[in-house]
Structure 1
């Protein structure tokens, strides 16, 4: 009997030790791979990277995009959990300051952390500096805001750009909208100031091609992008000469300044003197400055005087309208269109990587690129149980969004206001009453 009790105690101790060991092992596995899903599978963490400007010339937009991506992370994880899928998304944010050199360094940082799908960068200059590394290391990039035509970021043929997707149309479309704006407002003469990087030059060249012969260009001024000017007086002086020459031929409502830049336009405007001829005419901008908080805060009165008509890609589904309302309620500000595009990009990137992990068990850039194209029509239509917030996303042969309309914003009484919409289907602007 004593021997039986002893054996029984030993057996119980062995079982207990086994349970403890099993619990410890499961805990260790959970730290590395995540918790178990409802199906009992270990949850795999999909790390997405986000290359955003959080402290540079377009930080006001970068922070709006970051907000949208935080919502995307919540929503994607809720989706995976509801579907019983063994995945969890984690978005890692890196601040590029819109500096091409920093963008490459931050891309390398993300790659070293095992991130293979990246949302961003925001500017084309950054993308141009990253493309060789992206191709060499087979990473997937989905930019929400790079708009320079492929040749301006160094891509000679579509095959060279197979890992780089842009869910926004190129400036081939935006230049049409800007040209239509100028003509619709009866502009006969213009002075141009533009940022001399890949994005600025790309948009400049595309637009000049569409207005030359119909609108006189008195001055065509390029300024450096890295670093941007701190003293704008040489550029202001040259622009003033151009406007004065145009005012000798045309009325003030027939003359304009077109500026292609980012938040630095705030500094430029603030340095324009109150009696400058530059403030006697309307200004036009682009997607680089639209909804900039800095311009309103630092140059609100002057900006209101010149309006700064600015274009931004616009595509918003019914789901998108709900998202905008939710965004406003949570963050107390209006999201930019690029914030909405980034939200869609995170969804498509996460779903594509999850599909590849299910099929192959490991990351494969070529297969992810293929899955993105397969998932896009399903995601756009709502077939997957979730809908695009920017409507139908179709890509051209360069993996860029194939078309789109453009909203026209302006600064009225110190606030950005939606003033019109350029429709790609008609090539015309519908101005708000």
Structure 2
């Protein structure tokens, strides 16, 4: 490992000599939602990448690596069209590699642009199955990486959670987009495997404002049902608006709700509808993997008054490090941007970075990528809303499908 690091640094020094000792700028884009339905997570990821930018540049300076990374942040509002517009704008000024986008619908919308223009994306939180996003083979996805497992894992975690909570019947309410469709399908499969009856599956428009028709349907479906009936909400932070529009005395609030990584640890839920969320528990799943190094990043977050860090911010931090290191490796090898070389470098650097070759520990734990360039597996934290806010209540282990309650 030491020899590999020495070789890496030697290559950087040679590049610096060719450049006359000048520091070269590496441009990286960050595609996050800062004002839409995933803003809680987007703000965290922005902060994490800003910290990573500072740390990476310190690392380069300490090791005499003649590069400096500059971060370009864009607010996509988790809107696929806005996301593509932002990508095209940044690409026009020389940004060829991006952290993000956050949502699977955004990834789906940049797919063609990525292939035709050879632009690299490393998403910290897109989880839909590749085929749902339109990828027919790993080759079609060679420029798009995701540092999070697909929803085949989360669907199993939610199905097992429902069984563990002794639910016999569920109503599934889901966001009708690429992510919502995919996760809904994974949940339905696991629910059926676990012998849980699905009363109804209700789609909703991501742009919804008036939830009254949905609430009426939920109320009709759940009327006269016992405690063994629950609601599964597959959506983003618009779930806060949904809960706010439900009457305080509605029977819907007398049943357990299960959420997903679209609401887990949402500040919007706590600020706007905490009392109702406490009543329904809102057990919510989110990929969970962190190392000891995450504690230092959490400490920096608190010192800067950024609030509580979440898993996807950890993923984004690691993605920034990997892309930065891989980009420099690519430049040392080719002297210019080459998407195919960078794609291969990201795979190599991810492995080295996870093994500690660069002397930096991943904050999100060991990152193993599968043939689709997605994270290969992972456990899921089960969070619930209490009077004190979000609490980690348990962990679903992917190895055996068992839930460890804390």
Normalised by the length of structure 2, the TM-score is 0.94
Match of 1:186 in 2: 166
Assess if the C-alpha contact under 8 Å between 2:44 and 2:306 holds in 1: no
Distance of 2:147 and 2:306 partners within structure 1: 26
Question: Unaligned 5+ residue runs, structure 1?
Answer: 1-35
Equivalent position to 2:236, from 259, 262, 270: 262
Equivalent position to 1:146, from 122, 126, 136: 126
Match of 1:285 in 2: 259
Question: Unaligned 5+ residue runs, structure 2?
Answer: 1-15
Describe how 1:238-387 pairs up with structure 2 within 5 A.
238-244=217-223, 247=225, 251-252=226-227, 254-387=228-361
- Larger Rg computed on CA atoms: 1
Where 1:153 maps in the other structure, the secondary structure is coil
Equivalent position to 1:115, from 86, 95, 104: 95
Distance of 2:276 and 2:127 partners within structure 1: 28
Q: Could you tell me how far 1:326 is from its partner in structure 2?
A: 2.4
Where 1:382 maps in the other structure, the secondary structure is coil
Distance of 2:350 and 2:391 partners within structure 1: 32
Distance of 1:329 and 1:431 partners within structure 2: 30
Normalised by the length of structure 1, the TM-score is 0.88
Assess if the C-alpha contact under 8 Å between 1:296 and 1:414 holds in 2: no
Assess if the C-alpha contact under 8 Å between 1:303 and 1:414 holds in 2: no
Where 1:274 maps in the other structure, the secondary structure is coil
How many correspondences in the alignment?
389
Assess if the C-alpha contact under 8 Å between 1:219 and 1:238 holds in 2: no
Distance of 2:267 and 2:91 partners within structure 1: 32
Structure in which a larger fraction of residues adopt helix: 1
Equivalent position to 2:389, from 397, 415, 419: 415
Describe how 1:159-170 pairs up with structure 2 within 5 A.
159-170=139-150
Where 1:388 maps in the other structure, the secondary structure is coil
Assess if the C-alpha contact under 8 Å between 2:47 and 2:306 holds in 1: no
Assess if the C-alpha contact under 8 Å between 2:24 and 2:67 holds in 1: yes
Distance of 1:283 and 1:424 partners within structure 2: 22
Match of 2:374 in 1: 400
Give the RMSD, CA atoms, in angstroms: 1.3
Assess if the C-alpha contact under 8 Å between 2:169 and 2:230 holds in 1: yes
Match of 2:402 in 1: 428
Distance of 2:295 and 2:382 partners within structure 1: 18
Q: Does 1:125 align with 2:112?
A: no
Deviations along 1:196-244, whole A, 9 cap, x unmatched? 000001000011011126111112100011x2x1110000010111111
Q: Does 1:234 align with 2:213?
A: yes
Match of 1:176 in 2: 156
Assess if the C-alpha contact under 8 Å between 1:179 and 1:211 holds in 2: yes
Where 1:152 maps in the other structure, the secondary structure is coil
Assess if the C-alpha contact under 8 Å between 2:285 and 2:382 holds in 1: yes
Equivalent position to 2:179, from 199, 210, 224: 199
